[in-house]
Structure 1
Amino acid sequence: MTDMTEHTNQDGPVARAIRDIAAGRIVVVADDESRENEGDLICAARHATPSNIAFMATHGRGLICMPMSLELATRLDLPPMCTANTDNHHTAFTVSIDHVTTSTGISARDRSLTAMACVAPSTRPQDFRRPGHMFPLVARSGGVLERNGHTEATVDLARLAGLEPCGLCCEMMKANGTMMRRDDLVRFADEHGLAYITIAQLQEYCRAHTFPSAVRRVARVNLPTEYGRFTMVGYESDDGDEHVALVMGDTGSGEPVLCRIHSQCLTGDVFGSQRCDCGPQLHEAMRRVAEAGRGVILYLSQEGRGIGLLNKLRAYELQERGFDTLDANLELGFPVDAREYETAAAMLRDLGVASVDLMTNNPDKIGKLEQADIAIASRVPIVIPANAHDANYLSTKEYRMGHLLGALSDMTNLSTIAKEN
């Protein structure tokens, strides 16, 4: 586990960044190296002065966007830019805007007028022309604890600074047009006297302070199953998605809890599809929890590794044309894995679970849970033998996505089956 003290105290880098945002200064925020591996210049919309915007345009060189809360976007009547969002990270662009008092809309002064108008209490939707030169983005309600993007980081920093939930962010490029990476970002921040933080540090700060849970408990019922009697607890996340937990025994004792985090798979869990191992994994997890007499299974609304049912079917179409599961997602414009695990962590905390024996073959899931302050006492493999229909899928997960499948002696030889198919 990471020592959070450095990042969560009032003398740490995040606290400095919050003070700078409140004072009208720009900060540098870097994201995960496994995500975009990029940095943004960020300031609050209230302090979107012409000089701050000129600095972003001159030194950041990327697109200047305007992240805001859903409530503010709704008040300003800013609909989504498109109905089918295929952005790699599902960045929620709305229609672009210019304030009616601007000229061309592109100058630093014009963009300043537009940004500051967005947070003025008297502003109305009709005060903007559409399209324009400012690009609003809608942040997830749970902030960086729900989605680890610069959109959410911008809004969270503004809120933590006591300002309106809106700001500006600009991706940072080098003079040659390539993106600045970590060393470049640190050097740039030092040269210009700017605070530098990572989204991971901001997440740690938010967990340690007053941010609310990303989920709300809605219902709790008894659920008799073929494996025994579970308690089903229903949750709603801030984005409106619905999730459930299957619980057996005492989960609040402080001892590690046997746990499976299972992403919804309609085709496998309900219809028994043999194109994946999801259904058998779910039933095996239920059997193991019942055998142990104590455990938790989280069933998350993350169909198709987070891209949704219909997009998963589109990915299946590509797989039937020769793409593997990884390249099919990329071909459709999605990340390899669009899932976040802050919702899972919030559900576990609500159930009193702080440490788990995690049933998974996916190292990334372990890392994401640890980042969310859930201790992993042990990894419990949950390998399902391959069949003639899912061998290529499992082979891709093992060799291209790093899943730990091949080490068990009872695992059907994936490469042999894959070659036969």
Structure 2
Amino acid sequence: MVSNTDSIENYSTNIQKAIKALQRGEMILLFDLEGREAETDFTIAANAVTPEYVRWMRKDAGGLICVALDSEASEELGLPFMADIVREANQCSTALHKIVEKGGDLKYDSRSSFSIWVNHRDTRTGIPDNDRALTINKLGEIVEKTLNGEEIHFGSEFRTPGHVATLRAAKGLVHERMGQTELSIALAKIAGITPAMVVCEMLDDETGRALEKGDAKQYGKDNDLVFVEGEEVVEAYDIWLKSQ
């Protein structure tokens, strides 16, 4: 983990800015890769999310608000991939056979990182900003506890179906998959914060499509948000790995 100024200085100036922003509990903008999804996501630590941040994401980003979770913690908590759940359910419903994810289905990757959708048990409907913020905070908390060696029963705190999508990071992170899930968790590890990160795609209000990178960069400048690209994250993550 990054814990001092000397180690932070190993990274590019832009990554240093992103690290410091995330450590302060602030939002950054994260672009994956041209030719992949080519999307920019609002990105923030799950532990830092407030109802105001949820409102900001749904109004100015407009995409799906998801929580990316560390692979080791996901494994320990027993969180499955949604595609695997559907494959199992297909044993009872032949209708699902036609919709379950297959190799080659995704135009931008080999598989999806979606796990289950949850609400924390202390929420009411789960969808208002304050409910989603609570669920997101508790996901961050349970990941932190799990990685610290505490034995946690996921179902004692969460129920599914719910209104917050969880994403399970690939074990090899950006060396296995270059999604926003893996990029955001790689950033969390570099920054030394709990590897549970909220991501939400930025959409164009006029076209309804992913916001162009140039427009996302301008939004970042206008709102004093650090903008980082996937390739920068991979470079920084490789430096981080060598220091471990």
Same fold, judged at TM 0.5 (above): yes
1:200-240 Cα deviation digits (max 9, x unpaired): 01111122333589xxxxxxxxxxxxxxxxxxxxxxxxxxx
Q: Is the 8 A contact 1:154 1:167 kept in 2?
A: yes
1:125 to 137, 154, 157: 154
Matched, 1:27 2:58: no
After TM superposition, the structure 1 = structure 2 runs for residues 174-213 of structure 1, keeping only pairs within 5 Å, are 174-176=204-206, 177-210=208-241
Aligned to 1:172: 202
| Distance in 1, Cα, partners of 2:24 & 2:238 | 24
Q: Is the 8 A contact 2:69 2:197 kept in 1?
A: yes
Report which of the two structures shows the higher radius of gyration computed on alpha carbons.
1
Higher RCO, 1 vs 2 (CA within 8 Å, ≥6 residues apart): 2
Spell out structure 1 runs of 4+ moving beyond 4 A.
8-11
Aligned to 1:230: none
Residues 43, 58 of structure 1: alpha-carbon distance in 2 compared, 3 angstrom cutoff:
same
| Distance in 2, Cα, partners of 1:73 & 1:39 | 25
Letter in 1 for 2:153: R
Aligned to 1:60: 61
| Shift, 1:11, TM fit | 5.8
Q: Calculate the TM-score normalised by the size of structure 1.
A: 0.47
Aligned to 1:85: 101
| Shift, 1:112, TM fit | 1.1
Residues 156, 167 of structure 1: alpha-carbon distance in 2 compared, 3 angstrom cutoff:
same
Letter in 2 for 1:64: I
Letter in 2 for 1:94: S
After TM superposition, the structure 1 = structure 2 runs for residues 330-369 of structure 1, keeping only pairs within 5 Å, are none
| Distance in 1, Cα, partners of 2:129 & 2:76 | 25
SS at match of 1:66: strand
SS at match of 1:24: coil
Matched, 1:95 2:116: yes
Larger fraction in strand: 1
Q: Which runs of 5+ in 1 are unaligned?
A: 1-7, 214-421
Q: Which runs of 5+ in 2 are unaligned?
A: 1-8, 85-99
1:137 to 167, 184, 197: 167
Larger fraction in helix: 2
Q: Is the 8 A contact 1:94 1:136 kept in 2?
A: yes
| Distance in 2, Cα, partners of 1:115 & 1:211 | 31
Letter in 1 for 2:17: R
| Distance in 2, Cα, partners of 1:115 & 1:54 | 13
| Shift, 1:66, TM fit | 0.7
| Distance in 1, Cα, partners of 2:240 & 2:76 | 28
Name the count of aligned residue pairs: 207
